[in-house]
Amino acid sequence: MELKDLEIYRLSVEIADECWQIYNLMSWSDKKMIGDQWIRAVDSVAANIAEGFGRFHYLDKNKFNYNARGSLFESIHWIDTLKKRNKITEGQNISLTGKLKNLSIKLNNYISKTKDIKNGM
């Protein structure tokens, strides 16, 4: 299996690409005040999944998967904040939050499966 075959990685990249389109339309000041932190968090989800995928030991893998989950929840926080400050639309808020929550479930399942493989299940 290659990294690009991993569904949670593909989903996280798709979400990051969608967020990048919104980020690119922001004013310079909005990017500096909130956008930069948001896009770093969103990009960090895929980056941590990728790094964990490349690790051999299940504890190493899940360390990065937990980091990805933390970045995912940070991303949801920033999306909520962007909506409250009228920097994204309600539709963008609902769509991105829904996609991230779906990814969260799949990421949690992946973490559990990684533990199960270690335990011989």
How confident is the model over 51-100, as pLDDT tens digits? 999 988 888 899 999 999 999 999 999 999 999 999 999 999 999 999 99
pTM, to two decimals: 0.91
Spatial CB neighbours of 10, under 8 Å, sequence gap ≥ 6: 4
For the chain, domains (ranges, CATH) are: 3-116 (1.20.1440.60)
pLDDT digits (tens, 9 = 90+) for 27-50: 999 999 999 999 999 999 999 999
Helices 58-84 + 7-24 axis angle, to 10: 30
Nearest CA to 82 among 47, 36, 48? 36
Question: Is pLDDT above 90 for 1?
Answer: no
**Whether 103 contacts 15, CB under 8 Å:** yes
Lowest mean pLDDT across 1-5, 10-14, 100-104:
1-5
The conformation of residue 5, written as its DSSP 8-state character, comes to G
